[in-house]
Structure 1
């Protein structure tokens, strides 16, 4: 099985070359979604060898993806992941993975407290993914970082996300 299944409004699509095979409710023909050719995405990243595609549908701001990394063995040790967004803009968070010693201590042996959400955190970054945005993660991003698309009450419209990956095993 290429994808782990979960109960959500996710539509999985397997991509082979420039042809899409449907596993869900949408009809995708000849590698094209809303006039955007998958071949154009492939050409924007020369040398990439994507062989799979996951399509996620977010109906509104209550649909989200929690903190995770795509570090499964089937993607290899340094996976390249390209993500294209359509529709409603959403925030994409990226932050350093917690260290193995997550119970860090200060010199006075008191536990380190979590930083306020309002405070700046050099180990966390926010990107606004607008309609047509292309986000690429490669190298050790999945090993060293986690990412999420949080809930947002003000995100009222439909968002479609295409995630291109290479499965090696």
Structure 2
């Protein structure tokens, strides 16, 4: 059993708020994962139209268990985790577990990206992390779609888009971005 302290409770609350905001920005109507889902997903939300389970990272759940859930359900899972970027600014890191063509793939170290406040949202490998393979996903009302190329052309627009997406996210949550 994992002991949940006050810091964990705050992280969970922040994560739930961020997940609801991301669902709204993505155009995803969600409902709680019910008894048809594996127990491990009981605190997450599901969008039938997007074919996506959305939730926040929890200490007591391993990625191997989430990968097994994706194998069983054949649906994607998007997990977010509140954190700080290399400039120590608050952000959210994403992990995407995809069910594609009979295979399950895990992408970690992802960030939300947007060209401006009205542009489509993307999920991209954090451009600051040179250990990550570049990957790019557009967010659509029908789910997360893998794309062939980056939505940005240079490091400045990559960095600007990360910051814009963070600001959009916090504006949707309705809180302060400190």
| TM-score range normalised by the length of the shorter chain | under 0.3
Higher relative contact order (CA 8 A, sep 6+): 1
TM-score (norm 2): 0.27
Specify which structure has the higher proportion of helix. Answer: 2
- The structure whose Rg is larger is 1
TM-score (norm 1): 0.28
